[in-house]
Chains A and B, each alone.
Chain A
Amino acid sequence: MEVARTYSPSLPVVFTLAERELVRFFRQRNRVIGGLVQPVLFWLLFSEGLRSSDLGYTHFFPGTLVMILLFTAIFATISVIEDRNEGFLQGVLVAPVARWAMVLGKVLGGATIALIQALLFLALGWATVGQINPTPASALAATGGMALLAVALTGLGLLIAWRMDSTQGFHAIMSVFLLPMWLLSGAFFRQGADGWLGVVVAVNPLTYGVAALRHRLTPLDAEGLPPEPLCWLVTAGFAAVMLAACWWVVGREARGS
């Protein structure tokens, strides 16, 4: 018997999976609010609370942007855990779609949501804080940087979620790995801490994303940061490595029970 049909065209697959993420997200208003309000709240509290230490709204702004990207990316990928065992993803896994198209659709969908939230926050900062006043070119570059970070963090989330069988496990990883990763990215502390903390900050790829945003958005606060080209290189590499790792892990897919 002749069998001609094989893989479905990949572009519509990527598009349709990304579209699904976006539609789902905007239909759940509490997710929209949760992903944005919490970081704004943190931004207010940190900035007011640490004003005496000479750290203010400008200092915490790039870090808060990254926090928005991180939280939104995580919420977009945590659904994978249940989705693949008793939901929509089961259907995707038995459809004739290339695994890379599945990964790309999922990651681009999550990353787009994260980017939209971050852009809203960028607009808020621009409008309310005098020192956040990037040139149009810098704003555009920052948007590109946020897009790369969004892809990297959504990819990281997918990578973690894919191997998990419960959302509780994901929450554990989030508190012992993802939140510290954010705290130690220069988003919170000043750059150049001494000792082992400094080493952790230096090897954390997120450090370079936060720094790239500082260079572009709050250049007056950029003292002691890694050089800008290095920041961009590491951030782009972070995104590429996460995408490749997702493709590899999802493609391998030889899970037992």
Chain B
Amino acid sequence: MVRVSEVRHRYGEREALGGVTLDVAPNEVLGLLGPNGSGKTTLFRLLSTLLPLSDGDILVGGASVKTNPAAVRSQLGVVFQSPSLDKKLRVEENLRHHGRLYGVSGAELRRRIDDELTRFGVADRKRDIVESLSGGLRRRVELAQAMLHRPRVLLLDEPSVGLDPSARSDLWRRLADARDEGLTIIVTTHLLEEAERADRLAIMDAGRVVACDTPRELRSSVGGDTLTLVAGDADALADAIRDRFGGEATCVDGRVRLESRTAAADAAKLLSAFPEWITEVTIGRPSLEDVFFARTGKLFVGADE
């Protein structure tokens, strides 16, 4: 449905994307997960045709962004991070303008406005000025608007920013519904817990896709559970563990991290070996954060630079 091949982009000297290749199948929710500055927003802007593409190609339903941007645009429904609703206008006025921009008009337009507002549960807000709506309701109006012209691909940039947890989970439920109705959805996020809800995840770092698979496969690709040790001198502890037991002990952010298939037994062993060093031990199932760490050697939260 969407094919991204060898896409590169630079802002002046700085390389924002260094050769990204991705295939998005029909009927799937693909999450673009990455810390700030990983290039996911640049990729979103290229996909949405907001930025002109210079290197590589992007095909949407067979049409190329380079040679036939209008055909690409007519197939896309786009939800921006900062709302593209006109706050001074009523909900229905926003949708009416949007419809006309996509060549829908007259009775058909009126019918679709009612349909979409009903589907997203905001039909009773039709005559309200957008300014007076809560963040969650605005997102729903935006989704209704993005679906108005029956797109085949829905693109969303950090759609849950500014939403409370219940509005966030409502949003994801509605995205899943839309996917079940036949839409292909691409959504960027920097929230790990949210990324779990995508069908497939492309993890991005420093302008590249470092992993792309289902969240479950990604997690099981990490070799076991994660042991995290807190110690006064983490560097020294990591050295000592490597000396005594061999294997991979890395020191990140004042903590020692190990991957292990026998985490509980190893924890006991380490505690008895270095009782005076270790102040805290945590054992965790591999999370997406561990996946990110395994692929990039960086902590997800600290990877912003």
* A residues with CB within 8 A of B: 1-3, 5-9, 12-13, 15-17, 19-20, 23-24, 27-28, 85-97, 253-254, 256-257
Q: How far is the CB of A59 from chain B (nearest CB, A)?
A: 38
Closest 4 CB pairs of A and B: A8-B103, A86-B82, A91-B84, A95-B101
User: Which residues on the A side are within 8 Å of B52 (C-beta)?
Assistant: 253-254
Residues of B within 8 A of A (CB-CB), count: 35
Give Cα A210–Cα B115 distance, bound, in whole angstroms. 52
A3 x B50 contact (CB < 8 A): no
User: Which residues on the A side are within 8 Å of B97 (C-beta)?
Assistant: 16-17, 19-20
With A3-B68, A94-B48, A254-B52 as contacts: A88 and B100 at CB distance below 8 Å? no
B100 x A28 contact (CB < 8 A): no
Residue B63 CB within 8 A of the other chain: yes
Give Cα A9–Cα B101 distance, bound, in whole angstroms. 8
With A20-B86, A90-B84 as contacts: A3 and B62 at CB distance below 8 Å? yes
Give Cα A20–Cα B105 distance, bound, in whole angstroms. 16
With A24-B88, A257-B11 as contacts: A9 and B103 at CB distance below 8 Å? yes
Q: Which of A5, A7, A8 contacts B100 (CB 8 A)?
A: A8
Q: Which of B75, B96, B101, B145 contacts A5 (CB 8 A)?
A: B75
User: Which residues on the A side are within 8 Å of B61 (C-beta)?
Assistant: 1, 3
Q: Which of A27, A86, A92 contacts B101 (CB 8 A)?
A: A92
With A1-B61, A13-B100, A16-B97 as contacts: A87 and B75 at CB distance below 8 Å? no
Give Cα A104–Cα B52 distance, bound, in whole angstroms. 22
Within 8 A of A (CB), among B58-107: 61-63, 68, 70-71, 73-76, 78, 80, 82-86, 88-89, 93, 96-98, 100-103, 105
Give Cα A20–Cα B88 distance, bound, in whole angstroms. 10
B73 x A95 contact (CB < 8 A): yes
Residue B12 CB within 8 A of the other chain: yes
A24 x B63 contact (CB < 8 A): no
Known: A3-B61, A3-B63. 14 other contacts (CB 8 A): A5-B75, A6-B70, A8-B74, A16-B100, A23-B89, A28-B88, A87-B82, A87-B86, A90-B80, A91-B145, A96-B70, A96-B103, A97-B101, A257-B11
A8 x B68 contact (CB < 8 A): no
A13 x B101 contact (CB < 8 A): yes
Residue B49 CB within 8 A of the other chain: yes
What is the interface of chain B mostly: helix, strand, loop, or mixed? loop
Q: How far is the CB of A18 from chain B (nearest CB, A)?
A: 11
* Residue among A28, A85, A96 facing the most chain B CB atoms (10 A cut-off): A96
Q: Which of A12, A23, A94 contacts B105 (CB 8 A)?
A: A12
Could you count the A-B residue pairs with CB atoms below 8 Å apart for me: how many are there?
Answer: 100
Give Cα A256–Cα B96 distance, bound, in whole angstroms. 31
Q: How far is the CB of B25 from chain A (nearest CB, A)?
A: 13
B100 x A12 contact (CB < 8 A): yes
User: Which residues on the A side are within 8 Å of B78 (C-beta)?
Assistant: 90-91, 94
Q: Which residue of A lies closest to B52 (CB)?
A: A254
Q: Which residue of B lies closest to A15 (CB)?
A: B100
Q: How far is the CB of A104 from chain B (nearest CB, A)?
A: 14
Give Cα A5–Cα B78 distance, bound, in whole angstroms. 17
User: Which residues on the A side are within 8 Å of B105 (C-beta)?
Assistant: 12
A5 x B74 contact (CB < 8 A): yes
A94 x B76 contact (CB < 8 A): yes
Q: Which residue of B lies closest to A256 (CB)?
A: B11
Give Cα A92–Cα B65 distance, bound, in whole angstroms. 17
User: Which residues on the A side are within 8 Å of B85 (C-beta)?
Assistant: 88
Within 8 A of A (CB), among B89-136: 89, 93, 96-98, 100-103, 105
Q: How far is the CB of B32 from chain A (nearest CB, A)?
A: 17
Give Cα A86–Cα B70 distance, bound, in whole angstroms. 22
User: Which residues on the A side are within 8 Å of B102 (C-beta)?
Assistant: 8, 95-96
Give Cα A26–Cα B126 distance, bound, in whole angstroms. 20
B98 x A5 contact (CB < 8 A): no
User: Which residues on the B side are within 8 Å of A6 (C-beta)?
Assistant: 68, 70-71, 74
Q: How far is the CB of A165 from chain B (nearest CB, A)?
A: 14
Q: How far is the CB of A156 from chain B (nearest CB, A)?
A: 24
User: Which residues on the A side are within 8 Å of B84 (C-beta)?
Assistant: 87-91
Give Cα A90–Cα B84 distance, bound, in whole angstroms. 6
A3 x B71 contact (CB < 8 A): yes
Q: How far is the CB of B37 from chain A (nearest CB, A)?
A: 13
Q: Which residue of B lies closest to A254 (CB)?
A: B52
Q: Which residue of A lies closest to B88 (CB)?
A: A24
Q: How far is the CB of B69 from chain A (nearest CB, A)?
A: 8
7 sample A-B contacts, Cβ–Cβ < 8 Å, listed by A number: A86-B80, A87-B84, A90-B78, A94-B73, A96-B73, A256-B11, A256-B12
Q: How far is the CB of A205 from chain B (nearest CB, A)?
A: 32
A91 x B93 contact (CB < 8 A): no
